[in-house]
């Protein structure tokens, strides 16, 4: 095996991110507000949470968001996996709708 040639079937981080991003739904701030305020009116029939993944410094500098669940980006997946021992108490099912809020959208893309 050539150590400079990617293993067969492997994918680089750019490809992995591209595949995941293709399945994400982007929500404009106004739409997110509607969904969170009145989910049934917005056509959402599952529990929906706004998750603030900004750093503590950013939240202190820019202010928090009332009602948002605050989760550091590095542990997000564990907090929202119902099988994880580190899951949040609100994560008791598999159909939660999670709207991520970050500084500029790059982290949540």
Task: Compute the average pLDDT of residues 10-19.
Answer: 93
CATH class in words for 27-101:
alpha beta
Q: What's the pTM value of the predicted model, to 2 decimals?
A: 0.77
CA–CA separation, 43 vs 102, rounded Å?
24
Backbone angles phi, psi at 41, to 5 degrees: -70, -35
Distance, C-alpha 98 to centroid of its chain: 6
pLDDT attached to residue 1 = 83
pLDDT attached to residue 43 = 76
Task: Compute the average pLDDT of residues 39-49.
Answer: 80
The residue ranges of every structural domain in the chain are 27-101
DSSP 5: S
């Amino acid at each position: 095996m050539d150590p400079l040639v990617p293993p067969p079937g492997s994918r680089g981080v750019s490809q992995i991110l591209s595949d995941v991003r293709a399945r994400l739904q982007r929500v404009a701030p106004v739409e997110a507000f509607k969904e969170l305020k009145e989910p049934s009116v917005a056509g959402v029939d599952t529990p929906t949470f706004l998750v603030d993944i900004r750093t503590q410094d950013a939240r202190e500098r820019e202010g928090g968001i009332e009602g948002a669940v605050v989760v550091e980006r590095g542990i997000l997946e564990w907090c929202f996996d119902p099988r994880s021992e580190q899951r949040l108490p609100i994560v008791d099912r598999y159909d939660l709708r999670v709207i991520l809020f970050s500084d500029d959208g790059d982290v949540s893309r």
